[in-house]
Structure 1
Amino acid sequence: MHQVLFYVGDFPVRSFGVMLSLGILAGLLVSYYVAKTQQRYQEEVLDLAFYAILGGLLGARLWEVMFSWDYYGSHLSEIPAIWNGGISVQGSVVGGLLAVIWYCRKQKIALWLMMDTLAPGVLVGQAVGRIGCFLNGCCYGIPHQHLGVIYPAGTDAYYTFGSQPLFPAVLFEAAGDVLVLILLLVLYKRKPFDGFIALGYFILYSAGRFVLEFWRADSLRTVMDLKAAQVSSVVTICIAVAFMVYLYNRERQSANKKDVNRINIRN
């Protein structure tokens, strides 16, 4: 576990930044592959990548700063220092989603179909990025003797708990991302309507994140003693389920209309 992998002169190359970059690249390649297999939106995925990455990074940092204002309010100069960690996965999803919505409306692209194309890549990016969080010693878990990992001096985890073994929550989250990815890829060709894969991602990731937060030690608590990530996960699940019901009913109504039209033509 190394926060700094090596130096280029006096410039430290940090593991978090390297894994974040690799996660973005891997996610883009996976989304492009999905688009290529579907034979649509290959060029659009590449064009959209810049805006989605920018929106994701801004959203990730702003989300973290917003929920950690007690610290950043007194350390304003550290707000832009994204290379030191301190970004939120949920914030990156919100920021990236807003960029995708804007781009699809501007280019008149089917939003739900594009979101289905991007969802597998997002999961890959999150999984790789979480390894960066682990190497950086942030997003640490609660003390745990059996599954715990001892973080080295200089990390946020060590600063908080010392040499106690801590539950590696982000590694379990990365593993969960991979499992969700496999499931969604299996279901991709069988999806009942456009948007099913993207909404499945929101539901499954949020459910996993809600559970893992019970083992996280660095999260802000909010209402009903729940953590901020848990509250946002519940809200995300509710919204995604509502959209899934709406899109499913719309697809059924469209299929019924087609059946009626076919009967009328035959008659």
Structure 2
Amino acid sequence: MHPEFISFELFGKPVTIHFYGLLIALGATLGYFYAAKTAKRELGIESDVIQGLARWVIIAAFVGGKLFYYFESPAYYFGEPANMLKNFRTGFVFYGSLIFAIPTVIWYFRKHKLPFWPMMDLVAVTGCIVHVCGRMGCFFAGCCYGKPTDMPWGITFSDPLSQAKPLNTPLHPTQLYEIFLILSILVVLLMFKRHKRFEGQLFFLYIMMYAVGRSVTEIFRGDIRRGFIIENVLSHSQLISLILISLVGIFYYRFSKKQKPIVKQKP
């Protein structure tokens, strides 16, 4: 795929718009409109509150995603800080964004006295919308690429600007695997949304399903820079996935046992 969407001159200076940034912006826009409309309709929350939430989440996700990316190769980035500016607009770790975003939304919900678990369910669906666009951006940029494969659905990256390695070789389309995973999760969440047993169920399902799926897609990843706890056996993301599955599974079980009737709001 091609990382660059369009290049042009503006006031005599070259300007390049990358697919990655464009698709992230698209995901954030779609996510905001879904969250604002749903929060107003179902929870009576005004759009300006969602705007504020979106701003804080974007900042937290950017910082967390970038820091976790740097921690994958600490000697390279922290040993030579100038390397942090290379490909600054790309190179993010989803779990880093998630881990930074969750405490940010908790703080924001408490500050504005928002209904916590109903909002977390809203965040889960919104997160899927943003995430699937982000993974499409990864596909165009060539990052988060897969191992070489002889499977008929292998994808060959040939653009010299692509981050995929090696070029001109069929690779597992791990970005597309994740897109399929996230879209499947989104469908499940929307199905459960009408019949959920307790507030927070969608959020717990989102975390557990993604963690399980991510553990599987990691097997096909070829970008060794993401780091391993046990070389070629257990990656950083797989370890985080195992921890999340365990912790969230416990919460899901406890919440399901203490479930309270959900009062449906009239449209």
TM bucket by the smaller chain? 0.7 to 0.9
Q: Which residue of 2 aligns with 1:125?
A: 130
The Cα of 1:82 is off from its aligned counterpart by 6.3
On the 8 A contact 1:213/1:230 being kept in 2, the answer is: yes
The Cα of 1:223 is off from its aligned counterpart by 3.5
2:222 maps to 1:217? yes
Instruction: Structure 1: state its 5+ residue gaps.
Output: 256-267
Q: Which residue of 2 aligns with 1:19?
A: 23
The Cα of 1:71 is off from its aligned counterpart by 2.3
Aligned residue identity for 2:3: Q
Instruction: Say which of 103, 112, 126 aligns to 2:117.
Output: 112
Aligned residue identity for 2:64: G
Instruction: Say which of 257, 260, 265 aligns to 1:249.
Output: 257
Q: Which residue of 2 aligns with 1:87?
A: 92
Cα offsets for 1:21-49 (capped at 9, x unmatched): 11111122222233244243343323311
Please report the RMSD computed on the Cα atoms of aligned residues, expressed in angstroms: 1.8
Find the aligned partners of 2:86 and 2:56 in 1 and give their Cα distance: 20
Decide which moves more: 180-189 or 28-37: 28-37
Find the aligned partners of 1:237 and 1:40 in 2 and give their Cα distance: 32
SS in structure 1 opposite 2:76? helix
Cα offsets for 1:107-136 (capped at 9, x unmatched): 222221111111111001110110110100
On the 8 A contact 2:155/2:171 being kept in 1, the answer is: yes
Residues 7-156 of structure 1 aligned to structure 2 (within 5 Å): 7-9=7-9, 10-43=14-47, 44-80=49-85, 83-146=88-151, 147-152=153-158, 153-156=160-163
The Cα of 1:189 is off from its aligned counterpart by 1.9
On the 8 A contact 1:17/1:83 being kept in 2, the answer is: no
Residues 174-213 of structure 1 aligned to structure 2 (within 5 Å): 174-213=179-218
- TM-score for the superposition, normalised by structure 2: 0.88
Greater Rg over alpha carbons, structure:
1
On the 8 A contact 1:138/1:155 being kept in 2, the answer is: yes
Find the aligned partners of 1:110 and 1:250 in 2 and give their Cα distance: 18
Q: 1:82 to 1:103 in 2, by over 3 A?
A: farther
SS in structure 2 opposite 1:63? helix
SS in structure 2 opposite 1:7? strand
- TM-score for the superposition, normalised by structure 1: 0.88
Aligned residue identity for 1:66: F
Find the aligned partners of 1:162 and 1:80 in 2 and give their Cα distance: 24
Q: 1:212 to 1:12 in 2, by over 3 A?
A: same
Find the aligned partners of 2:252 and 2:87 in 1 and give their Cα distance: 34
The Cα of 1:6 is off from its aligned counterpart by 1.2
On the 8 A contact 1:29/1:121 being kept in 2, the answer is: no
- Greater strand fraction, Structure 1 or Structure 2: 2
Identity %: 27
On the 8 A contact 2:2/2:161 being kept in 1, the answer is: no
On the 8 A contact 2:76/2:83 being kept in 1, the answer is: no
Find the aligned partners of 1:34 and 1:171 in 2 and give their Cα distance: 28
Q: Which residue of 1 aligns with 2:264?
A: none
Q: Which residue of 2 aligns with 1:265?
A: none
SS in structure 2 opposite 1:156? coil
SS in structure 1 opposite 2:7? strand
Find the aligned partners of 1:49 and 1:75 in 2 and give their Cα distance: 33
